[in-house]
Structure 1
């Protein structure tokens, strides 16, 4: 299994903090299960530190642990299967909402997803923690748009399309899934204006840094 960095990504706690009261952890991972299918798995876990709720208990207490998996068609980014499982929950009736999340099937992650999730699963229509997890998972599918093509090419022994493919033009068709997704990709912003004018994208900063560290020349036809 591929290894990822597991170091602590939180900022340093303030020096005058009395003690840790709560730990919430999100973890999301994506897998290619076919050339046209993604599997996104996620979990959220809330823990209380040892001894805070149960006196003299040496172990942390897990209050919530929800798991969510969904399959996404590629390149449509439409959810085609979804399951929810509660590993740990505070109330006996918590798991009764699990099957409600099957309504994710048929939704597109690319456009209007956040609004639809709130409509279907917000407030009393869902589990607060599962819905928060879902909102954290959806962008991962979009992040895998080029990863899917790169993985397929790698298995086929072809050139990596992220770093070696020819530019495909300046039309919005290649950018539809990112338009208005954040301030960088605002429809009236400078990044899209440059692309529409035929300009090429810049190499992502972390990728450029790693290329420099490895002494690899930046591809002149980069279009990631």
Structure 2
């Protein structure tokens, strides 16, 4: 359902954030984000001169390369458009992200390394949706299939141990992060019943014991 019809108004500003996730030929993952800002009217910029409607006030991008543990192994940031000449000078500082793991405490660690004058406000802000894009990319069945095929091709997939005990299911990263993924919701009950906490949780878990389900979301 769309938003309700607005009252009369004038469009002044547009911000766009686009994030994409890629599986690389070397078995790693590239997560890229781009943020742009533009005005609908001409305005002056002391450094760049007059900016026409649609000219980017900000156009900044970042690429994080991560491994299967969500650890950042490479980082590259660029500034293609900015209101001040010196904005792009800070882009190399984003290599400080190398070694961080996307997960609990990630945003706090980012602020410690790149907060305030140590970084760029817009690229730091962009790291929020980039991080969630990483989870959306790596957690899909398609991604797991690509990763397994690569490991089989390169001989890095460990052989199965027929005597090994089955691994317990891992807690999904999205559990209790929103209304739909509350631990007692119908979504959790359907897709990750092992972590369901509703009133019929015991019966639900017993009914699906040993069943592998594919998550959505």
Give the TM-score, by structure 1 length: 0.67
Matched, 1:34 2:25: yes
Give the number of the structure whose alpha-carbon radius of gyration is greater. Answer: 2
| Aligned counterpart, 1:46 | 37
Cα RMSD of the aligned pairs, angstroms, is: 3.5
The equivalences for 1:196-207 within 5 A come to 196=195, 198=205
Task: Look up the SS of the partner of 2:37 in the other structure.
Answer: strand
| Aligned counterpart, 2:118 | 125
Deviation at 1:52, TM superposition (A): 5.1
Matched, 1:140 2:136: no
Q: Distance in 2 between matches of 1:21 and 1:183?
A: 33
The equivalences for 1:1-224 within 5 A come to 11=3, 14-17=6-9, 19-34=10-25, 36-51=27-42, 59-74=53-68, 76-144=69-137, 145-146=139-140, 147-152=142-147, 171-172=168-169, 174-175=170-171, 177-179=173-175, 181-182=177-178, 189-190=183-184, 191=188, 194-196=193-195, 198=205, 222-224=213-215
Q: Distance in 2 between matches of 1:13 and 1:95?
A: 40
Deviation at 1:50, TM superposition (A): 3.5
Evaluate the alpha carbon distance shift between residue 71 and residue 84 of structure 1 in structure 2; reply closer, same or farther with a 3 A threshold.
Answer: same
Deviation at 1:221, TM superposition (A): 5.7
Deviations, residues 107-126 of structure 1 (Å, cap 9, x unaligned): 11122112111222222221
Identify which range, 80-89 or 143-152, moves more after superposition.
Answer: 143-152
Deviation at 1:222, TM superposition (A): 3.5
Task: Look up the SS of the partner of 2:109 in the other structure.
Answer: helix
Deviation at 1:177, TM superposition (A): 3.6
Q: Which runs of 5+ in 2 are unaligned?
A: 153-164, 196-201
Does the 8 Å CA contact 1:200/1:223 hold for their aligned counterparts?
no
The number of residues matched between the two structures is 181
Give the TM-score, by structure 2 length: 0.68
Q: Distance in 2 between matches of 1:83 and 1:38?
A: 14
